[in-house]
Amino acid sequence: MEVVASHSDENWINLAGWQVLCLEETGSTNQDAMELSYQKPGEFVVWARHQTAGKGREDRQWYSHQDCSLTFSVVLRPDDEERQFLSRFTALGALALADLLKEACGLEAEIKWPNDVLISGKKISGILTETTWSGAAIDALIMGVGVNLRDEAFEETASQLRFPATSLQAEGCRIDSSQEFLEKLLDFVCKRREQIGSTRLIDEWNERLAFKGEFRLIKQYQGKTEMLCPVSINPDGSLNVRDQSGHTRVIQSAEFSASRSASEPSSS
């Protein structure tokens, strides 16, 4: 495919034991990684300094400006044991970033279930996992990560955002080298991966769960929007919530609004 033919060996570097394909510009690192996963064996990373058509949940775009965002995708080949815990891989990426933010910047991150990392209640990173298949078996898991390094990453599209955003720069964390930051993050991904089947990963996901004890507008993918309060995350990655009648139930997929009140628009 074109993605391989257009990139020579000189575009590949080694970071934290990973082979990393470095691109100055691309449409979507997830799309590149997915196409390349069918041709290149093993695990690797696709990193773009400028991404023009990044993908988010519900077919949204992740906007990326030159050197203002860190955008990359990790191609993972889960083994038989890890395939039992595929729903945890998004949290793996989020927890790895939270680890790095605490070590490098002293920032305490929270995770907005299921896939966003927040600082001070604002989104600093989004994670999208996709899978490729070989027949009935999973061939690869693509974990796409976008991190706002500077405010320019989202300034032009701020009015279109469904959730308020922030950047490392705005939170007082200076990143002199995006490559060095990526290398450290990939190292934390490896460390967190060792816990993928453990209760520790779920426990620490729960510790960082955003909005615990708060009622928030939550849109479920059946289209229903209501005020729900996050309670805890289950071992399968689903979320326990409490409704305003005091009943607890489990949701598999949903979107949190920035609104705390049912009178506020859920698209803010």
Domain spans of the chain? Answer: 2-207, 216-256
In DSSP terms, which residues pair with 225 in a beta bridge? 219
Tell me which fold the domain 2-207 belongs to. BirA Bifunctional Protein; domain 2 (3.30.930)
Q: Which CATH number fits domain 216-256: 2.30.30, 2.60.40, 1.25.40, 2.30.110?
A: 2.30.30
Which residues contact residue 173 at a Cβ distance below 8 angstroms, ignoring those fewer than 6 apart? Answer: 101, 104, 105, 107
Burial 210-237 (b: 16+ CB within 10 A, else e): bbeeebbbbbeeeeebbbbbbbebeeeb
Compute the distance between CA of residue 166 and CA of residue 206 in angstroms, rounded to an integer: 23
Say if residues 3 and 22 touch (Cβ distance below 8 Å). no
Say if residues 127 and 144 touch (Cβ distance below 8 Å). yes
Q: Cis before residue 164, ω within 30 degrees of 0?
A: no
User: What pLDDT, on the 0 to 100 scale, is given for residue 260?
Assistant: 67
| Per-residue pLDDT tens digits of the chain, which is 268 residues long | 444 434 556 699 999 999 999 999 999 999 999 999 999 999 999 999 988 876 555 455 555 566 789 999 999 999 999 999 999 999 999 999 999 999 999 999 999 999 899 999 999 999 999 999 988 889 999 999 999 998 887 765 544 566 889 999 999 998 889 999 999 999 999 999 999 999 999 999 999 999 999 999 998 776 788 999 999 999 999 999 999 999 999 999 888 876 665 544 433 3
